């Protein structure tokens, strides 16, 4: 039975396609989910692709990914910069974690330059738009195999 990779998305990413497309691109989150699921399937994984605007729900899903997943791709969005709870949940997870951001957070406002997620991720991909999710899937394949 294929193992699942969890792909967890934080606040406002449900607005992709409509939200600041010059920064986040014109694809919707559904488009990204479909592409990511398809790519993970070619790599031999099932995919749990989810989005929430709630910090508590994100923490619960990170814990679930640690129990039931083979790996975790996370775009914690604004919670990357603010949430010690998200970082602590990630620290407790044994499966490999790849952090993704659509935009290049280092070329944006200074408050985006620090992510609490980065220190507990195996790797960070940012600035490559939706393609970053596919690159994260490739990285997990290497790390899990």
Question: What is the binding site for ligand DHK (CB under 6 A)?
Answer: 12, 75, 77-78, 101-103, 105, 112
Q: In the annotation, is 24 catalytic?
A: yes
Of 61 and 70, which CB lies nearer to ligand DHK in the complex structure?
A: 61
Given the residues 24, 39, 79, 133, the one annotated as active site: 24
Nearest to 126 by CA among 80, 69, 58: 80
Q: In the annotation, is 131 catalytic?
A: no
Of 112 and 122, which CB lies nearer to ligand DHK in the complex structure?
A: 112
Please state, in angstroms and rounded to a whole number, the distance separating the CA atoms of residues 61 and 51.
Answer: 10
The phi and psi torsions of 108 (rounded to 5 degrees) equal -105, -160
Given the residues 6, 79, 101, 116, the one annotated as active site: 101
Of 26 and 41, which CB lies nearer to ligand DHK in the complex structure?
A: 26
Cβ at position 123, least distance to ligand DHK in Å: 15
Quote the DSSP letter at residue 13.
Answer: G
**Contact by Cβ (8 Å): 118, 124:** yes
Give catalytic residues, as residue numbers. Answer: 24, 101
């Amino acid at each position: 039975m294929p193992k699942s990779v969890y792909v967890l998305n934080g606040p406002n990413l449900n607005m992709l396609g409509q939200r600041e497309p010059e920064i986040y691109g014109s694809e919707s989150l559904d488009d990204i989910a479909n592409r990511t699921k398809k790519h993970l399937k070619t790599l031999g994984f099932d995919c749990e692709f989810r989005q929430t605007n709630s910090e508590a729900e994100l923490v619960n899903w990170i814990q679930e990914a640690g129990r039931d997943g083979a790996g975790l791709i996370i775009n914690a969005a604004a919670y990357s910069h603010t949430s010690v709870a998200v970082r602590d949940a990630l620290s407790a997870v044994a499966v490999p974690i790849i952090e993704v951001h659509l935009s290049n957070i280092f070329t944006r406002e200074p408050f985006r330059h620090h992510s609490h997620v980065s220190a507990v991720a195996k790797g960070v991909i940012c600035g490559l738009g939706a393609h970053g999710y596919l690159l994260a899937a490739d990285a997990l394949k290497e790390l899990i195999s």
